[in-house]
Structure 1
Amino acid sequence: MRTFASIAAATSIAAALVAVTGPTADAQAAPAFSAYHGVTGEQQTERFTTLRGQGYRPITFTVDDASSPRYGAVWVKESGPAWAMIQGMSPSGYQKRFNDYLAQGYRPTTVSATGSGDDAVFAAIFEKVSGKFFAKHGIGADQFAAANADAARRGYVLTAANVYGTADEPRYAGVWTQGSQAWSVTTGKTFSEHHAEFLTRTKNGEKPSLVTVGPGETYTTVWVKDGGPAWYEYTGMTSSGYQKRFDELKAKGFFPTQLDVEEGRYTALWAKS
């Protein structure tokens, strides 16, 4: 998962926008990208085959609606480590894939799930990259908080996260990677709580490195303090709202680096291409 201080505005609909100014990327180095959302499993397979054949690699992947899964992803045309992109997994199926790829030197860099219990549907990107990590899924809020605290003590950073299940019983999936970056996480915030947290954090020089939306439209966010290229964040978007923001930001030279959806509500981070 990849994410790349002046506050621009808050939109009149349920979507928070922040643009952070920074050095712009060299236009010659800007990656070609392809993005889509709301596609069926069959359409996702078709996009996978086409884009992989054209030399693209996925950088973010999300699934919504366990009864009739819909997928969204962003792909970039650039070199990188070996990767695998898997859709339509049950919880046990995800665990099996995890074990199989772990044995081959891969780790999950994006994990998304929707639904609850044995009916949950998982989607993930695995990459063959070195370094220590640990991962958990199907855990409750208290276990997730304990895992974050343990990770911070041991020098790990939460680099992938997703919330699924139900509003009353959310379940968390996370991947923690060894690293030295300072970070913190807020969990289960409502839209207004997340926006208020966002305003405070950005004034202090922090930014979200990932945002995931959970059942009941709650937001879990990893915050970091570092510089970097210009970026935007939108939350609380409908499918059409996400498409509108996508079109506006593409025209300004931005592309989504992280995308997540749950119960039809989208959240995304954009970086300068």
Structure 2
Amino acid sequence: MPTISRIAAVTTVTAGVVISTAAVSPAHAEATATPAFVAYHAASAGRQTTYARTLKKQGYHPITVNVSAGGRYAAVWVKGSSPAWAIYQGMSGPGYQSRFNEFAKKGYQPISVSATGSGSGAVFAAVFEKKSGKHFARHGLTARQFASVNQKAASTGYTLSSVDVYGSAASPRYVGVWTANTGGGWYYTYGKTAKQHEAEVAKRLRQGFRPTQVAVGPDGTYAAVWRKDGLRSWAHYIEMSSSGYQKRFDQQRARGLYPVQVNSESGRYAAVFVKT
């Protein structure tokens, strides 16, 4: 169902600041002024709906969304002009496919897709934007299928622009969006333990790559997208608790960085920050 379908007003949002009215824990609300953005995490489905409705009225648009076990949501919203957009939550796999088909006909494409759970109980969330450009999306992919799709995408001029891992520890599934590569090398990794992912960071940095998308799997492993885009001011963290993410957020905000991607599963958080 769309997150803008209903509102139970308990929060006021102004100038990029989330102001608690005794309904939002400070540990789950973050803010800054430049650029004006709002980031939240560990929000219930109801709270996510309220945020979406309120933030839309205040002129914000979502750039990333994540749903994790227990129906908890994280997202980042930025204030300012943007293409037409829509955000949906609580979708089943077929429901997500239906929304994808519906919005593709209207000229929209997904910019952020997330999922949690397995089988018919999997839950999806997505942000769609009205924009041109070649793209395709897949979900329900096994690790082998995910690798195959990435290899074909790279050979035909596409890049992985959104990724998440869901399913179960014994049988993870991948959901992704691939868009036309407008320049710059890219790479992907998946099924990496925290230690292996950290080693990958060191390796890719030496090659000029940085992580742009990181997803936590139900088995605690990580999938990531790496791009050689020349960006110098950025930060990336994994293996964070909810409070740990909040701490990193505060530290990076003080340095002038804000999150452009947040992902969580089973209490583990990963995030990518860039310079404002």
**Could you tell me the TM-score, scaled by structure 1's length?**
0.87
- Trace 1:1-273 onto structure 2 (pairs within 5 A): 30-65=34-69, 68-179=70-181, 180-273=183-276
> Residue 130 of structure 1: CA displacement?
0.1
- CA RMSD in angstroms comes to 1.2
> Is the contact between residue 158 and residue 175 of structure 1 (CA under 8 Å) also seen in structure 2?
yes
> Residue 229 of structure 1: CA displacement?
4.4
> Residue 204 of structure 1: CA displacement?
2.1
Q: How far apart, CA to CA, are the structure 1 residues paired with 2:157 and 2:175?
A: 19
> Is the contact between residue 255 and residue 271 of structure 1 (CA under 8 Å) also seen in structure 2?
yes
Following TM superposition, where does structure 1 have runs of at least 4 consecutive aligned residues deviating by more than 4 angstroms?
A: none
Report the counterpart of residue 23 of structure 1 in structure 2. none
Report the counterpart of residue 6 of structure 1 in structure 2. none
> Residue 254 of structure 1: CA displacement?
1.1
SS in 1 for 2:150: helix
SS in 2 for 1:197: helix
Task: Summarize deviations over 1:147-192 as a string: whole Å, max 9, x none.
Answer: 0010011000001111100111110011111113321111110000
Name the amino acid aligned to 1:261.
S
Q: How far apart, CA to CA, are the structure 1 residues paired with 2:178 and 2:186?
A: 12
The alpha-carbon distance between structure 1 residues 181 and 204, as it changes in their structure 2 partners (threshold 3 A), is closer
Name the amino acid aligned to 2:239.
G
> Residue 209 of structure 1: CA displacement?
1.6
Q: Which runs of 5+ in 1 are unaligned?
A: 1-27
> Residue 248 of structure 1: CA displacement?
1.2
> Residue 202 of structure 1: CA displacement?
0.8
Equivalenced residues, count: 243
SS in 2 for 1:185: strand
Q: How far apart, CA to CA, are the structure 2 residues paired with 1:48 and 1:88?
A: 14
SS in 1 for 2:184: coil
> Residue 223 of structure 1: CA displacement?
1.1
Task: Summarize deviations over 1:72-96 as a string: whole Å, max 9, x none.
Answer: 1110102111100101111111111
Name the amino acid aligned to 1:85.
I
Q: How far apart, CA to CA, are the structure 1 residues paired with 2:134 and 2:184?
A: 15
> Residue 133 of structure 1: CA displacement?
0.7
SS in 1 for 2:219: coil
With a CA cutoff of 8 Å and minimum separation of 6, indicate the structure with the bigger relative contact order.
1
The alpha-carbon distance between structure 1 residues 99 and 177, as it changes in their structure 2 partners (threshold 3 A), is same
Task: Summarize deviations over 1:190-224 as a string: whole Å, max 9, x none.
Answer: 00000011111112221112111111111111111
Q: Which runs of 5+ in 2 are unaligned?
A: 1-32
**Could you tell me the TM-score, scaled by structure 2's length?**
0.86
Q: How far apart, CA to CA, are the structure 1 residues paired with 2:80 and 2:205?
A: 30
Q: Percent identity?
A: 53
Q: How far apart, CA to CA, are the structure 1 residues paired with 2:228 and 2:103?
A: 32
> Residue 124 of structure 1: CA displacement?
0.4
> Is the contact between residue 61 and residue 259 of structure 1 (CA under 8 Å) also seen in structure 2?
yes
Name the amino acid aligned to 1:232.
A
Q: How far apart, CA to CA, are the structure 1 residues paired with 2:185 and 2:208?
A: 13
Range that drifts further, 197-206 or 238-247:
197-206
> Is the contact between residue 38 and residue 72 of structure 1 (CA under 8 Å) also seen in structure 2?
yes
> Is the contact between residue 31 and residue 78 of structure 1 (CA under 8 Å) also seen in structure 2?
no
Q: How far apart, CA to CA, are the structure 2 residues paired with 1:34 and 1:229?
A: 23
Q: How far apart, CA to CA, are the structure 2 residues paired with 1:248 and 1:183?
A: 28
SS in 1 for 2:270: strand
Q: How far apart, CA to CA, are the structure 1 residues paired with 2:65 and 2:94?
A: 19
